[in-house]
């Protein structure tokens, strides 16, 4: 439990809740607490899925500009490594992760949302990478995760212009996966996360790793990653349970082992 980031677990779903009023600015402390929370939920066997939520008003409006403004190159070189490590911890959570986006998800806030597997946005949400307007570029994964998600041309449009996009446009370009009324964002994310509760946790983790690591390599290497993950699952109890249930036409009751 951090000062600005807390983890709440109910019904096998962990919520990583950002709470640094007014705009959830992502200063160094918040970044570290996000990383710690991500590692904790990833290791917790009681957690089947994760929701990242900034509250009813805002997801996260970005990095704390006041904190960064006077940093030297040497200071930022160290700080940016910590920033990326904390966000990468979110991307490497070995469970399905859903970002529940209300209000602004800008700069570092958008980059945090990019670390999730899925994004649910409210109708009034605004997303973007406005760093160019400060004379800098995204530094927490935006230049890498955004083009992998929406393609290089759309990513360059957002990063070069720094413009904000509406939830409707974000849905159209694949930046978010679902748009719901603002008041329903968190509940929609919880319901989606709930579909993974009771699922084959080892297979879900293997699928996520195969997809994510496969995107970083050539096709032949990706296929080998898939083959090894696929073969390894035959050593799990869940694979035996699932196949037996299929043969017997019953519902599988997975154990996560």
DSSP 21: T
Partner residues linked to 167 by β-bridges: none
Query: 62, 65, 50: which is closest to 118 by C-alpha?
Result: 50
Contact in structure between 123 and 181 (CB atoms under 8 Å): yes
Q: Return the ∠ at Cα 61 (arms to 55 and 65), rounded to 5°.
A: 140
Within its chain, how far is the Cα of 183 from the centroid? 21
φ, ψ (nearest 5 deg) of residue 99: -90, 125
Element of type H or E holding 166: strand 164-166
Active site residues: 111, 131
In the chain the beta strands, taken as DSSP E runs, fall at 5-10, 13-18, 49-53, 97-101, 104-106, 118-122, 126-128, 164-166, 178-180
């Amino acid at each position: 439990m951090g000062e600005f980031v807390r983890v709440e677990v109910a019904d096998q779903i962990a919520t990583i809740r950002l709470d640094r009023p007014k705009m959830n600015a992502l200063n160094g402390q918040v970044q570290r607490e996000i990383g710690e929370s991500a590692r904790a939920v990833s290791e917790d066997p009681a957690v089947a899925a994760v929701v990242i939520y900034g509250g009813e008003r805002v997801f996260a409006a970005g990095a704390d500009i006041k904190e960064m403004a006077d940093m030297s190159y040497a200071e930022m070189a160290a700080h940016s490594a910590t920033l990326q490590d904390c966000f990468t911890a979110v991307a490497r959570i070995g469970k399905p992760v859903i970002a529940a986006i209300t209000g602004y998800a800008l700069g570092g806030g958008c980059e945090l949302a990019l670390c999730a597997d899925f994004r649910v946005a409210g109708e009034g949400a605004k997303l973007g990478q406005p760093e160019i307007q400060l004379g800098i570029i995204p530094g927490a994964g935006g230049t890498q995760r955004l083009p992998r998600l929406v393609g290089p041309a759309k990513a360059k449009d957002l990063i070069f212009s720094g413009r904000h996009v509406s939830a409707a446009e974000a849905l159209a370009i694949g930046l978010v996966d679902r748009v719901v009324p603002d008041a329903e964002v968190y509940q929609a994310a919880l319901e989606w996360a709930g579909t993974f509760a009771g699922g084959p946790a080892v297979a879900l983790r293997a699928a996520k790793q195969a997809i994510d690591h496969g995107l970083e390599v050539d096709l032949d290497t990706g296929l080998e990653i898939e083959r090894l993950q696929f073969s390894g699952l035959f050593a799990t109890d869940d694979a035996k349970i699932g196949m037996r249930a299929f043969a017997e036409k019953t519902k599988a009751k997975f154990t996560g082992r």
